[in-house]
Amino acid sequence: MYALADCNNFYASCERVFEPRLEGRPVIVLSNNDGCVVARSQEAKDLGIAMGEPVFKCRSIIEKNHVVVRSSNYTLYDDMSRRVVQSITTFIPDIEIYSIDEVFLDLQPLINRDLMAICHRTRQSVLDWTGIPISIGLGSTKTLAKLANRIAKKRAGTNGVYRLPDEARARDRDLASTDIEDVWGIGRRWGRRFRQIGVATALDLARMPAMEVRRQFNVIAMRTALELRGEPCQDIQEVAVQRRTMVRSRSFGRMVTTWEELSEAIATHASRAAEKLRAEDSVAGQISVFLHTNRFREDMPQYHRSGIRELLPATNVTPMILDAARSIGRSIFREGFHYKKAGVMLGDITHGGGQGGLFDQRNHGRDERLMKTLDRINDRMGPGTLHAAATGLRRREWHMKRENRSPRYTTCWDDIPRTR
């Protein structure tokens, strides 16, 4: 037996915890650069503001209804996520962190106890301890737990917890009431293709012969079909799998035309990626850099390109990664375009060391000490206190727009909420 615990309107809920006057009001949270809507309170959903919608397209709804708009504050959300997970594990220890706002729970060890009671108590405690409302769905596979979670959120009277019934007819009713696109693992494209062959609900997919699903789609879709029938194809992954790639990229607040500015952006991404690599005690064996113009501006000349290079030996040393990134960037940069985005991608990531190079002359001990010192200073004095000159020395127009960010209530001494 599995469960999925999912935070309701997570980012919007985080904003509310520290600003209770937002309770009952429509709240939305925007993506980086204040571009798209990435989270909505229930009131905002009710106004018809769509997920992922560019904010300028719903500007009139926002103004007319006094919707509260917040820039995203990932420092806050990451920390709140950690607190929610910690609270849940007090009651249910075997978990898989699936995303910033979702946790799969392994209920098998608790199978002889009253699972509904445990889940209700978990939900209430998370709310009491963190202020974040969550919903929990229970099912015999992860896909069914996901489906049950949707019902827990939407159906009146569930009080935030729903268990898919064991009895076949009742379960079929729940599956029949779930649209095919709302099944975990079935997106818009496949949803359209399934509908073309007469599969419109989760129940239809569960009843389709598995090999037929595989033939027309692929094994992922087939596994989804099996899981909808109650045959588990995916287990709880308690140990996080090591990442294989890492991307650092940003759209620019304003278009960028010069190599000088673009190279600062690339250097910034490269430095951040290197820092993150070191924080995870890993090294990268490959680096690529990409840049592109604004694809929405069809009136302007378009350009996008990427370049790739091996890092030999694999490294997490900022100057190594920085040099490679800037030289790739230089080689793909073309004069005369308005650039909108640039990024650095690291691949061939390995953990705890990595293969050395036969002809490698560098003094690794020295690099390692230098990077340790750099990280320690930035850890103590704040991110970016010490940084490569190549990342730029002053604030630029292309830097991210973030006009309505809330304080870092839980992670920064100066931002801790005060009461009189």
Partner DNA sequence: TCTGGGGTCCTAGGACCC
- Binding interface with DNA (CB under 7 A): 31-33, 35-36, 38, 52, 54, 56, 98-102, 146, 184-191, 214, 218-220, 241, 243-251, 255, 294, 296-297, 340-341, 343
The CA distance from 206 to 182, in Å, is 14
Choice between 54 and 319, CB closer to DNA: 54
Identify which of 373, 272, 249 has the alpha carbon closest to the alpha carbon of residue 321: 272
Least separation in angstroms between residue 55's CB and DNA is: 8
Q: How far is CA 42 from CA 9, 50, 65, 184, 195, in A?
A: 7, 12, 14, 22, 29
Identify which of 242, 254, 276 has the alpha carbon closest to the alpha carbon of residue 344: 276
Choice between 216 and 378, CB closer to DNA: 216
Least separation in angstroms between residue 111's CB and DNA is: 25
Choice between 118 and 222, CB closer to DNA: 222
Choice between 207 and 402, CB closer to DNA: 402
The CA distance from 6 to 134, in Å, is 5
Q: Classify residue 36 by its DSSP letter.
A: B
Cβ atoms within 10 Å, residue 30: 23
Choice between 92 and 186, CB closer to DNA: 186
Choice between 99 and 373, CB closer to DNA: 99
Q: How far is CA 240 from CA 51, 160, 270, 272, in A?
A: 28, 27, 24, 22
* Phi and psi at residue 169, to the nearest 5°: -65, -40
Least separation in angstroms between residue 153's CB and DNA is: 12
Least separation in angstroms between residue 295's CB and DNA is: 8
Least separation in angstroms between residue 366's CB and DNA is: 28
Q: How far is CA 112 from CA 1, 10, 115, 171, 238, in A?
A: 11, 32, 8, 22, 21
The CA distance from 210 to 229, in Å, is 10
Least separation in angstroms between residue 109's CB and DNA is: 25
Angle at the Cα of 79 (from 77 to 84), degrees rounded to 5? 90
E strand intervals along 216-260: 246-256
Least separation in angstroms between residue 350's CB and DNA is: 13
Choice between 146 and 326, CB closer to DNA: 146
